Amino acid sequence: MIICSVTCADNLHEAKMMARAVKYHMPYAWIVICLMERTIHPAAVNVPWFDEVVLAKDLEIPRFEGSIFKYSLLEAVTSIKPKFLCSLFERYPHEQNVIFMDTDIIAYAPFDDLLAALEQHPILLSPHRMEPTPEPLGYLQHGIFNTGFLALRRSEESLRFLEWWGQRLYSYCHYHAPFFVDQKWVDLAPAFFDIKVWKHPGYNVAAWNLHEKCRKIVREEEGYFWLENDFPFVCYHYSGMHGMLQYCMDQWIPDKSNPLYHLLQAYVDELEVMGMNELSEVPWSYDYYLDGSPISIEERKAYGKNVQAFESGIDPFLGRSEVQSENGDEWL
């Protein structure tokens, strides 16, 4: 089993925490981290919980520099996810299962139920919510499924899905509506592919589903947590650490003795140990031209609209003047 994630240098502290927890509960898992950076940052070297670190630019994505220049950091990181997953199946032919996890997901138990489900289904998608909510507009904005956590079994169906998904993210992985990066595209996937909507309440517990009764922790036994109907509490998605998560916990779990508050505090403490204060300040290497000058949002948008500049095949990170001299066309 391969567990993987895509990140940038400024988020390596989270990646290390995710990988450490996985190795604790599933030492047999092979962990691969893909860095959306020009070079491998020193903080990603000799990490005991990383089995391999690869660079996004080495995934053999056609016109890689041009494909990501139009994107922000979040968009670029998300856009290469399908290609990364596909490359893992290619490079590890003996591995049957590949699981993608955002770096802010922490495992608290082995993925036994998920691996059993993968024996019956090639693709597992995790819905944001499993119970109706009085506020349905989130579905329309963010999509039905949370693609920060998904699992695939080696199969023609999985590869077809990744090819279809990747083609769309190559050009249309924008944060703004109607895309919400990679997630709204996946709303269409169950109509096209053999996909299992993975409704296990113990996976991908997050701010957006804490109101659901099926997600409530009811007991702790020997370091593991259990939900109603004997479902194990398997992994917690710490998305929204800058306010949304705390707000939702206060709103839906007012009892401060709930184990989730202890887990949150432990998570915050470990972020500092893993180097958050230093790493979070590391600038994204693709936020700059090769000469070191910064790239503006306007320049990214203009390039994204200029089909001729992209099709020229010239690396846009060389700078506008170099591309213009070769291509004879302004971006703006």
pLDDT in tens, 4-44: 999 999 999 999 999 999 999 999 999 999 999 999 999 99
* pLDDT surpasses 80 at 172: yes
Instruction: Give CATH superfamily name and number for 2-203.
Output: Spore Coat Polysaccharide Biosynthesis Protein SpsA; Chain A (3.90.550.10)
The pLDDT assigned to 331 comes to: 54
- Count H helices and E strands in the chain, helices first: 15, 12
Let me know if 156 is exposed, middle or buried by CB neighbors in 10 A (0-12, 13-18, 19+). Answer: exposed
Go through 289-312 and write b for each residue having 16 or more CB atoms within 10 A of its CB, e for each that does not. Answer: beeeeebeeebbebbbebeebbeb
Among residues 236, 259, 260, 244, which one has the least CA distance to residue 105?
Answer: 236
SS3 state of residue 68: helix
* pLDDT surpasses 90 at 329: no
- Average pLDDT of the residues in 58-77: 96
112: how many CB neighbours lie within 10 A of its CB? 12
The pLDDT assigned to 330 comes to: 57
Q: Which residue has the tokens 């709930």?
A: 258
* pLDDT surpasses 60 at 332: no
- Average pLDDT of the residues in 293-314: 92
CA distance 93 to 111: 21
Mean pLDDT of the chain: 93
SS3 state of residue 192: helix
Among residues 10, 14, 5, which one has the least CA distance to residue 272?
Answer: 14
The pLDDT assigned to 178 comes to: 86
Q: What are the boundaries of each domain within the chain?
A: 2-203, 288-327
CA distance 264 to 209: 16
* H-state helical runs in the chain: 12-25, 64-69, 73-79, 81-91, 112-118, 137-142, 156-171, 183-186, 189-192, 244-252, 259-273, 276-279, 297-305, 307-311, 320-327
DSSP assigned state of 193: S
* pLDDT surpasses 60 at 323: no
* pLDDT surpasses 80 at 209: yes
Cα→Cα distances 8→40, 134, 247, 280, 312, Å: 10, 36, 27, 10, 28
The pLDDT assigned to 279 comes to: 96
* pLDDT surpasses 60 at 235: yes
CB 97 within 8 A of CB 112: no
Write out pLDDT tens, residues 121-167.
999 999 999 988 766 666 677 889 999 999 999 999 999 999 999 99
Q: What is the pTM of this model?
A: 0.93
DSSP assigned state of 129: -
Among residues 253, 249, 251, 231, which one has the least CA distance to residue 239?
Answer: 249
The pLDDT assigned to 303 comes to: 93
